[in-house]
Amino acid sequence: MVKKRGRGELNQAQERAVLTTEGPVLIVAGAGSGKTRVLAHRIAHLIEKGVPPESILAITFTNKAAGEMKNRILSLLKGSDYFSVPWIGTFHALSAFILRESGSEIGVKKSFSILDEEDALGLIKESLEEAGLDPKQFEPRRMRALISRKKNEMEGLGKFRESAVEYFPKILARVWESYEARLKKSNALDFDDLLLKTVELFSSHPEILARYEERWKYIHVDEYQDTNLVQYHLTKSLAQKYKNICVVGDIDQAIYSWRGADFRNILHFERDWAEAILITLEENYRSTRLILEAANAVIVKNKFRVPKNLFSQKPGGAKISLFEASNEDEEA
């Protein structure tokens, strides 16, 4: 049994998710089902049973989520003799950490700076000006978004340039080339480079990948339905040796396709990991039964999903009503 240490009771599905620590695990966590709680308890349980904290990796999508998870784990382990915590952070923070340690093998200097979106957009504008292109015709933000999408699809400049035969792709290739030259001159990487170059590092230097596989023997990924192709390859590479990968997500909450996320990653998990164990968290602690019955009736019509049926112990609740606004101000 999981030590409670004042944590409160876990339901049966949550407890199974916490205790199933070996091998690939897919936790399909419905809305309000306590997924962050489960991840924190699972990591604390690994440490309690003797896994060194430095052997555990947890990847989140926001710094806020990483901070919350870290605090929960420390709270669960309060009073224990543990002097370190697992590596917990975002995909971009993880990639920056790896590149500063090992990126020199692919020409990334340890002192590189990281461009935020506004800085990256500024370089795109400079690249357009250098090419004599009208920013009204070739909107900088759109050009930046297209380059970002290509990088997240693991398509580099060289490959894109080879396939660019029509007018606009040729223009984009020119701007992209100038943008990359400016990045190199500034010893800078954009957010997309952090991920792409880490995967490139692992692909071209298997001995470096092996080092990180040994370092992190237990890998956790939150919001797996929001991963894109490069994030998918990054986590898959790290978990290949020990196969102790636990991903948490819900395809019914996949809303980030516009920024490159591919919900099929979660659908393909059991294909990628033949011995994967599927655990579904269906009890919702946030909403009333009426809300969940309505939500289930809508969600069940989704064509691509992992079956689940959310339920709640909360009875009743106000009846659902329909409000049709005539404009956005009235809606607000």
Lowest mean pLDDT among 76-85, 144-153, 244-253: 76-85
Q: How far apart are CA 310 and CA 1, in angstroms?
A: 25
Reduce the DSSP state of residue 49 to 3 states and report it.
coil
Do residues 90 and 63 lie in contact, with contact meaning Cβ atoms separated by under 8 Å? yes
Higher pLDDT, 5 or 285: 285
How does DSSP assign 135-175, residue by residue? TTTS-HHHHHHHHHHHHHTT--HHHHHHH--SHHHHHHHHH
Beta bridge partners of 271: none
When pLDDT is cut at 50, 70 and 90, the band that residue 98 belongs to is very high
Q: Specify the pLDDT at position 252.
A: 73
Q: What are the tens digits of pLDDT across the range 18-57?
A: 999 999 999 998 888 889 999 999 999 999 999 999 999 9
* Average pLDDT for 325-332: 92
Find tokens 């001995």 and name the residue.
Answer: 207
When pLDDT is cut at 50, 70 and 90, the band that residue 3 belongs to is very low
* Average pLDDT for 163-167: 88
Q: How far apart are CA 66 and CA 69, in angstroms?
A: 5
Q: How far apart are CA 190 and CA 230, in angstroms?
A: 14
Find tokens 């011995």 and name the residue.
Answer: 275
Q: Specify the pLDDT at position 67.
A: 94
Find tokens 């909403």 and name the residue.
Answer: 287
Lowest mean pLDDT among 96-105, 108-117, 189-198, 252-261: 252-261
Q: Specify the pLDDT at position 28.
A: 92
Q: How far apart are CA 233 and CA 203, in angstroms?
A: 10
Q: How far apart are CA 238 and CA 226, in angstroms?
A: 18
Count the Cβ atoms, other than its own, within 10 Å of residue 323. Answer: 6
Higher pLDDT, 59 or 9: 59
Give the containing element (helix H, strand E) for 278: strand 277-281
pLDDT at 5 over 70: no
Give the containing element (helix H, strand E) for 197: helix 191-204
Q: Specify the pLDDT at position 147.
A: 96
Q: Specify the pLDDT at position 7.
A: 46
Q: What are the tens digits of pLDDT across the range 278-322?
A: 999 988 888 888 887 787 778 777 777 677 777 777 877 778 888
Q: What percent of the chain has pLDDT over 70?
A: 95
How does strand 188-189 pair with strand 113-114? parallel
> Mutual orientation of helices 229-239 and 140-152 as an angle, nearest 10°?
30
* Average pLDDT for 104-127: 95
pLDDT at 173 over 90: yes
When pLDDT is cut at 50, 70 and 90, the band that residue 6 belongs to is very low
Q: What are the tens digits of pLDDT across the range 210-263?
A: 999 999 999 999 999 999 999 999 999 999 999 999 999 887 776 777 667 787
pLDDT at 9 over 90: no
Q: How far apart are CA 71 and CA 196, in angstroms?
A: 30
Q: Specify the pLDDT at position 230.
A: 95
